Structure 1
Amino acid sequence: MREPDNVFHLAIPCRDLDEAQEFYVTRLGAKLARRYADRITLDFFGDQVVCHLTDKIDPRPEMYPRHFGVTFRHKDDWDRLVRLAQARELEFFQEPMRRFEGLIEEHWTFMLIDPSNNLLEFKYYLDPRMMY
């Protein structure tokens, strides 16, 4: 089981480090932890995302099976991120919407696409037991 002081790590492909830093740090609000010639390391909502420089970029990303993101415990946090993404004109892959309405799995979701075609999903479940 993950302890609260441990951090999840995810590495993703990136075609341009300046572009990735602009998207994740300046526009989305992640914190830059380190930058090297071939990667940037980010504090992404408390976890670690590393954008590795590569020319292997998915030209036509699809929602499934590959995306990542954050499931928020509080709706206010999800709402705040929606407003930030809209205000900063981030590119939505999927507009904010409600899924599975009326079921225990009911949740709010939206997806962003970064400059390297990585898909980011952000969710909030009405029933916190459905977060996992």
Structure 2
Amino acid sequence: MPSADFLIRLCMSSRASCDTAMAAAAITACSAIRLLPFTSAVFVRSSDPCHGSTTRRRFQSWRVCSSPKPSGVLTSDGGSANELVPAAVTTPFHLAIPVHDVHAAREFFGEVLGCPEGRSAKTWVDFNLFGHQVVCHEVRNYNASSSANAVDGDPVPVPHFGLAMSVPEFHAMAERVRAAGIKFIIEPHLRFVGQPGEQWTMFFKDYSGNALEFKAMTTPSNLFAKYVVE
């Protein structure tokens, strides 16, 4: 086993920037000896000709699934243990949606969902939705429309957006929605029972008719498990 100091230098070395496999291997080795957290990201400054001068590249961190897995847990591609799987996503997502009224959006996202408010102007406002940026743009003539697709026997509204959260967060959010008197399109319940994709889910709409889904995997590591749903 290479020394810890060598592995750390290799993880951060600019020479690793030309070889993604080398960088991934270095990160894997560091993770294996608990030198780097699974969700860490390695930034490499490169002056090598293969990437141009003084550019910064972000290598997605990886973790090793070499330890025994709990029953029913799959890797991200549905495979077995001893494979590399992507670590948790740490980049905030940005979503802009139309709403009838900015003040109504503040009431829904700020008061009902508990999202801190960010920047705003007369006709738009930012919200922090669990670390992700949702921007509500006022469109007076906006008419939300959606279709539905059957998922595990439920007519799921399409399009929709939302979050994958922890089970306690899911139930806390369900209580907030109930307390606000908002009608569920699909009541909070457990779907895909006994399958790798088993999850809590609920659907409801904001005051402008935009559909949202909040879900919680009973096995969080199975969020991206690849398998055919029966």
TM-score normalized by the length of structure 1: 0.88
User: 2:142 corresponds to which residue?
Assistant: 56
User: 1:105 corresponds to which residue?
Assistant: 197
| Aligned residue among 38, 61, 69 for 2:162 | 69
User: 1:21 corresponds to which residue?
Assistant: 106
Q: Does 1:45 align with 2:130?
A: yes
Q: Which runs of 5+ in 2 are unaligned?
A: 1-59, 61-87, 148-155, 225-230
State the Cα RMSD in Å. 1.7
User: 2:220 corresponds to which residue?
Assistant: 128
Matched to 1:57, the amino acid is N
Q: Is the 8 A contact 1:34 1:41 kept in 2?
A: yes
User: 2:48 corresponds to which residue?
Assistant: none
Q: Is the 8 A contact 2:97 2:136 kept in 1?
A: yes
Question: Which structure has the larger Rg?
Answer: 2
Q: Does 1:91 align with 2:207?
A: no
Matched to 1:14, the amino acid is V
User: 2:116 corresponds to which residue?
Assistant: 31
Residues paired across the two proteins, number: 129
Larger RCO (CA under 8 A, 6+ residues apart): 1
In the alignment, the residues of structure 2 paired with residue 61 and residue 13 of structure 1 have an alpha-carbon distance, to the nearest angstrom, of: 14
- % same residue: 32
The offset of 1:64, in angstroms, is 4.1
In the alignment, the residues of structure 2 paired with residue 3 and residue 45 of structure 1 have an alpha-carbon distance, to the nearest angstrom, of: 13
In the alignment, the residues of structure 1 paired with residue 107 and residue 138 of structure 2 have an alpha-carbon distance, to the nearest angstrom, of: 15
Matched to 2:162, the amino acid is G
Q: Is the 8 A contact 1:14 1:52 kept in 2?
A: yes
| Secondary structure of the structure 2 residue equivalent to 1:82 | helix
Given the superposition, is the C-alpha separation of residues 24 and 100 from structure 1 closer, same or farther in structure 2, using an over 3 Å criterion? same
The offset of 1:99, in angstroms, is 1.0
Q: Which runs of 5+ in 1 are unaligned?
A: none
Q: Is the 8 A contact 1:101 1:107 kept in 2?
A: yes
In the alignment, the residues of structure 2 paired with residue 36 and residue 69 of structure 1 have an alpha-carbon distance, to the nearest angstrom, of: 24
- Which structure carries more strand by proportion? 1
Q: Does 1:115 align with 2:207?
A: yes
Matched to 1:128, the amino acid is P
